[in-house]
């Protein structure tokens, strides 16, 4: 009986949270056009979410590409197909690793920062103060941050991919002595603009929306105490990371089957 009661109350809680999330999403999307007009505000958020994420994206991209180059070379040599290292590195990065790893890093760096910032704005009554000054926090706080994420994550994913390919090139060509012409020519032949690059970009945009919505919702609905904001930040990283991996499977199934 207690189990049934627990099941009922937790299901109701989940449904209530989903309802709140849906309401949040429906309130924020109509506010998006306003953030285009608040260009300075948008620019500031692009700096915070995008430019400040660059070091981690550049470094991670380089190392992921180097590992791919090394592993690819080791495996493909057994099949006498080491010229395909460039293709393998590029396709893995463009189709999967670029958008997914960039999104996971973005969720950890920018997503958690967004939750903490909005959560603290709530706990210090700044959101209430905006409401009292007849300024909609959805337009002033949430929408510019969402739009900034949608603009920056695809760019960061592309930068991650470029750095990864460069890392693969350094290892395969610079260190292991693969022919440079073969590395680039195979890549040019096999990577398709629409099938691979555009689909990778679509994934990055979808991940950006997901991460931004989760981070901003968690901050906006956080319990306004230090413990509440800390829990909300943790939830953002966990939910956004799992959400990215789950959504990646769905998008891959839709795009490549």
Partner 1 sequence: MPTDCLIEIQNLTFYRGERKIFDDLSLTIPRGQVTAIMGPSGTGKTTLLKLIAGQLKPHAGRILVEGQDVHQLSRTALYQLRQRMGMLFQTGALLTDLTVFENVAFPLREHFKLAEPLLRTLVLMKLEAVGLRGAFDLMPAELSGGMARRVALARASVLDPKMVFYDEPFVGQDPITMGVLVDLIRKLNTSLDLSSILVSHDVNEVLSIADFACVLSEGKIVAQGTAQDLLNSDSEYVRQFIQGLPDGPVPLHYPVKPWADEWSTP
Rounded Cα–Cα distance for residues 40 and 20 (Å): 30
Indicate whether 52 belongs to the interface with partner 1 (CB under 8 A): no
Indicate whether 221 belongs to the interface with partner 1 (CB under 8 A): no
Rounded Cα–Cα distance for residues 241 and 215 (Å): 11
User: Is residue 65 a contact partner of residue 187, using CB atoms and an 8 Å limit?
Assistant: no
Indicate whether 129 belongs to the interface with partner 1 (CB under 8 A): yes
Rounded Cα–Cα distance for residues 110 and 72 (Å): 31
Q: Measure CA 91 to chain center.
A: 19
- With vertex at residue 112, the alpha carbon angle to CA 106 and CA 118, rounded to the nearest 5 degrees, is 125
Rounded Cα–Cα distance for residues 177 and 155 (Å): 31
Indicate whether 40 belongs to the interface with partner 1 (CB under 8 A): no
Indicate whether 132 belongs to the interface with partner 1 (CB under 8 A): yes
Radius of gyration of the chain (CA): 21
With CB under 8 A as the contact rule, the residue among 11, 16, 124, 225 that binds partner 1 is 124
Indicate whether 71 belongs to the interface with partner 1 (CB under 8 A): no
DSSP reduced 3-state for 38 = coil
Indicate whether 128 belongs to the interface with partner 1 (CB under 8 A): yes
* Contacts for 182 with CB less than 8 Å, ≥ 6 apart: 83, 86
Rounded Cα–Cα distance for residues 14 and 16 (Å): 5
x/- mask, partner 1, residues 83-122, rule CB under 8 A, reads: ----------------------------------------
Indicate whether 125 belongs to the interface with partner 1 (CB under 8 A): yes
Indicate whether 133 belongs to the interface with partner 1 (CB under 8 A): yes
Select 127 or 191, whichever has its Cβ closest to partner 1: 127
Backbone angles phi, psi at 38, to 5 degrees: -85, 70
With CB under 8 A as the contact rule, the residue among 29, 56, 81, 126 that binds partner 1 is 126
Least Å from the CB of residue 164 to partner 1: 34
Least Å from the CB of residue 193 to partner 1: 41
Taking the alpha carbons at both ends of the chain, their separation in whole angstroms is 46
With CB under 8 A as the contact rule, the residue among 83, 136, 195, 221 that binds partner 1 is 136
Select 136 or 221, whichever has its Cβ closest to partner 1: 136
The closest alpha carbon to 126, from 141, 113, 146, belongs to 141
Least Å from the CB of residue 40 to partner 1: 11
Indicate whether 26 belongs to the interface with partner 1 (CB under 8 A): no
Least Å from the CB of residue 189 to partner 1: 50
Indicate whether 135 belongs to the interface with partner 1 (CB under 8 A): yes
Least Å from the CB of residue 243 to partner 1: 29
The site for partner 1 (CB under 8 A) is made up of 124-126, 128-129, 131-136, 140
């Amino acid at each position: 009986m207690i189990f049934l009661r627990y099941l009922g109350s937790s299901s109701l809680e989940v449904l209530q949270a989903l309802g709140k999330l849906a309401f949040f999403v429906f309130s924020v999307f109509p506010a998006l056009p306003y953030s285009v007009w608040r260009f300075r505000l948008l620019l500031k958020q692009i700096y915070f979410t995008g430019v400040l994420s660059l070091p981690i994206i550049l470094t991670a991209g380089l190392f992921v590409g180097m590992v791919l180059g090394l592993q690819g070379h080791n495996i493909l040599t057994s099949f006498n197909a080491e010229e395909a290292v460039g293709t393998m590195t590029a396709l893995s990065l463009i189709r999967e690793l670029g958008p997914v790893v960039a999104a996971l890093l973005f969720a950890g760096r920018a997503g958690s920062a967004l939750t903490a910032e909005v959560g603290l704005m709530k706990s210090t009554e700044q959101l209430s103060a905006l409401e009292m000054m007849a300024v909609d926090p959805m337009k002033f706080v949430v929408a510019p941050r969402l739009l900034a994420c949608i603009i920056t994550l695809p760019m960061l994913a592309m930068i991650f991919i470029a750095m990864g390919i460069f890392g693969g090139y350094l290892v395969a060509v610079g260190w292991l002595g693969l022919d440079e012409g073969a590395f680039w020519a195979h890549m040019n032949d096999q990577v398709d603009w629409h099938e691979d690059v555009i689909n990778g970009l679509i994934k990055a945009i979808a991940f950006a929306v997901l991460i931004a919505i989760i981070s901003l919702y968690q901050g906006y609905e956080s319990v306004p105490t230090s413990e509440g904001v800390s829990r909300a930040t943790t939830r953002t990283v966990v939910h956004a990371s799992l959400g990215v991996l789950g959504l990646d499977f769905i998008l891959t199934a839709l795009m490549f089957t």
